[in-house]
Amino acid sequence: MLCCWVEDPNSEAFKRHLPRIADYLWVAEDGMKMQGYNGSQLWDTAFATQALLSTDLLDECVPLLKKAHQYIEMSQVQEDCPGDLNFWYRHISYGAWPFSTRDHGWPISDCSSEGFKAALALSQLPQDIVGESISSQRFFDCVNSMLSMQNKEGGFATYELTRSSPWLE
């Protein structure tokens, strides 16, 4: 947002950022607050879903599980960033799950694995409880995304592959 403002404070690019300010900046009773993400919604939903599914409370949680399934389904990133990913030093996003919302858009390996596990567990439930499960192709897309995050030395990136020299990493 700041870069867009420096480039042109009246630009459309800057104006498109304005509605999202409240996601990151707000004034609380003790002053200005800031966060680097727009939340942790997918992360929280995936773990809560897995926890609920490990209990004997399924019958008591049907509406909650249905909403969790809907959220997990809609949060999976369904497209890569526009443009040349290499030019922008970006990794593929398609198929991954982010930390918070699809709008966050950054592929995160551990969030993808937790989103995958929760979606897979929910797919084992009857459709009348959670609705239609995520397609096999979307599970495949997630696995492809996660495997693509493996670095040359065998470790897995959280966000992006190692691109710089070892001393910087």
Report the catalytic residues: 110
N-term to C-term CA, the chain: 26
**Residue 105 CB: number of other CB atoms within 10 A?**
15
Rounded to whole angstroms, the Cα distance separating 5 from 26 reads 19
Q: What angle do CA 165, 167, 169 make, to 5 degrees?
A: 70
The Cα 94–Cα 107 span in angstroms is 8
